[in-house]
Amino acid sequence: MDVLWDSTEPLTVRQVGLRLTNRDLAHTTVMTVLDRLAKKGFARRQRDGRAWRYQAAANREAYVTELMLHALDQTGDRSAALASFARRVSDSEAEVLRRALESIGEFAQD
Amino acid sequence: MFPPVLVLAAVAGGTALGAAVLASARWPHRSPGAAILLWQALGLSWGLATVGALAALGAVPGRYGVAGGALSSVSRAVRSAALGFGPPALIAAARLVVLAASATLFALLCWVLVAASAAVLVARRRHRVLLSLLAHGDPKVPGALVVDHPAAAAYCVPGLRSRIVISAGTLDLLDSAELAAVLAHERAHLRARHDLVLLPFCALGRAFPRARLVHQAHATVALLVEMLADDRALRQRPARELATALLRVGTSGASLAPSGTLAAASAADGEMTTRVTRLLAPPARLPLAVQVLVCCAAALLVAVPVTLLLFSF
């Protein structure tokens, strides 16, 4: 997937395989992975002669944003899918908490 | 002996009243585990008693409790419809209507639980796939995945293939001791499957989106679960690390939050302050005898409606 994200143009299976130089992967392995990415909607593909050309469906940032939106619970409903360490707080509470943090810091320095 | 319909209705009303009282009580913060058990018992008991009270209204008294009475009520109605005799039609019809309401409520409660579980599983699977594409490990947080994003986030994806995720923003924000405290907290969530505790309350919230008490219950149990994980993390890490980690992550998010998310934030208003205060000045745990009493109350809450549904007196 990183190879697809880093490329500006659609790539064939062979080109993807060549760019994965750090790993010794069989042509069919790369083909299977790309096929699965396409089926899951992460990659788009188009016919080019006898081969498929693959392209990332959305850029990496879009997916990171999706992850973080879900993680930070910005959808508003407190779904049970994820468990967040700390909840977002309102500005007034943030002020109280910041003061608490400062007082702990002073306490530690004493 | 009181008729079962009165007892069940009293239990249903009593659990709702009890939930309202428990939501504003202070003692649960002292022993969150016992309080969570009581909340679960209240929820289950309310569901059983409400379904049971309606069923008891439509049931003919019999030897096998309300459930048996409801069945024989239906079978009598079917027989009288087929053969043309039996109890007066009006009474039989009224019984059937009440029974249908009871069955509908029961089906609704089961359905929202299934639907909520399914939605959660789908969301988690999507999340895990994205993580496998985007996240990477980091020696600073062993066992956790790192997502490159400047906002501070730390969370876990519960399930059989659970994940702990830390954002790059959190890595920059916290020192190694605080990170360890965060990991201990998240591991506690995953190990105890706290997500399963919250799932029924989440489902009830979807079934009754307008009911304030249900949302209050959900928020209260969510806070108690966090406290439980905090307590668990305290066995491995000092309280101050966890408290400062909470403060840093909590306050960093506030400035990033767009105005549209204020509703979500205000629902949880005060939670973080409560958790931090509790970490820095831990209240005494409830005496063991009181904890046992709470557990007995929880067992009794569930036992009463179950007994009335299955047996007659």
Query: Do the Cβ atoms of A80 and B116 come within 8 Å?
Result: yes
- Look at residue B260 in the predicted model and tell me its pLDDT: 36
Place of tokens 């809450």: B301
- Look at residue A61 in the predicted model and tell me its pLDDT: 79
Among A38, A56, A74, identify where a domain stops: A56
A45 and A11 housed in the same domain: yes
Query: Do the Cβ atoms of B264 and A84 come within 8 Å?
Result: no
- Reported as a single tens digit per residue, the pLDDT across B289-306 is 999 999 999 999 999 999
Query: Do the Cβ atoms of A96 and B273 come within 8 Å?
Result: yes
What are the mean pLDDT values of chain B's consecutive 10-residue runs (313 residues total)? 84 94 91 94 94 88 80 82 70 86 93 91 87 86 87 85 88 89 91 90 87 89 91 90 86 50 47 86 90 95 92 78
- Look at residue B48 in the predicted model and tell me its pLDDT: 94
Among A40, A56, A72, identify where a domain stops: A56
User: DSSP label at B1?
Assistant: -
A87 touches chain B (CB under 8 A): yes
- Look at residue B263 in the predicted model and tell me its pLDDT: 35
B147 touches chain A (CB under 8 A): yes
**pTM across the whole model:** 0.83
A44 and A18 housed in the same domain: yes
The minimal CB distance from B272 to the residues A40, A87, A91 is found for A87
The minimal CB distance from B254 to the residues A66, A81, A88 is found for A88
Give Cα B301 distance to the centre of its chain.
Answer: 16
A40 touches chain B (CB under 8 A): yes
Distance between CA B74 and CA B68 in Å, rounded?
10
- Best probe of the A interface among B272, B277, B279, by most A CBs < 10 A, is B272
Q: How many CB pairs under 8 A join A and B?
A: 160
User: Is the separation of the CB atoms in B297 and B38 below 8 Å?
Assistant: yes
Residues in chain B with CB shorter than 8 Å from the CB of A89 are: 250-251, 253-254, 265, 268-269, 271-272
- Best probe of the A interface among B247, B248, B256, B269, by most A CBs < 10 A, is B247
- Look at residue A79 in the predicted model and tell me its pLDDT: 59
CATH number for the domain spanning A41: value is: 1.10.10.10
A50 and A77 housed in the same domain: no
The minimal CB distance from A76 to the residues B198, B219, B263 is found for B263
- Cα torsion B254, B268, B166, B128 to 10°: value is -130
- Look at residue B103 in the predicted model and tell me its pLDDT: 93
- Reported as a single tens digit per residue, the pLDDT across B147-201 is 888 888 888 888 888 888 888 888 888 889 989 999 999 999 999 888 899 899 9
- Look at residue A107 in the predicted model and tell me its pLDDT: 52
User: Is the separation of the CB atoms in B174 and B237 below 8 Å?
Assistant: no
A104 and A75 housed in the same domain: yes
A65 and A52 housed in the same domain: no
Quote the domain boundaries for residue A38.
2-56
CA dist A10 → A6, A20, B133, B226 (Å): 11, 15, 19, 46
- Look at residue B18 in the predicted model and tell me its pLDDT: 94
Q: Tokens at residue B176, please?
A: 């190694």
Residues in chain B with CB shorter than 8 Å from the CB of A63 are: 130, 133-134
Residues in chain B with CB shorter than 8 Å from the CB of A91 are: 254
The minimal CB distance from B120 to the residues A79, A86, A89 is found for A79
Low-confidence ranges of chain A (pLDDT < 50): 74-76, 109-110
Q: List residues bridging with A48 in a β-sheet.
A: A51
Give Cα B76 distance to the centre of its chain.
Answer: 39
A67 and A25 housed in the same domain: no
- Look at residue B85 in the predicted model and tell me its pLDDT: 65
Query: Do the Cβ atoms of B244 and A42 come within 8 Å?
Result: no
- Look at residue B115 in the predicted model and tell me its pLDDT: 92
Nearest CA in chain A to B256: A88
- Look at residue B10 in the predicted model and tell me its pLDDT: 94
List the one residue out of B191, B173, B313, B310 whose CA is nearest residue B253: B173
A6 and A52 housed in the same domain: yes
A50 and A75 housed in the same domain: no
A38 and A68 housed in the same domain: no
> Total domain count for chain A?
2
The minimal CB distance from A87 to the residues B123, B130, B271 is found for B271
CA–CA min distance A32, chain B (Å): 16
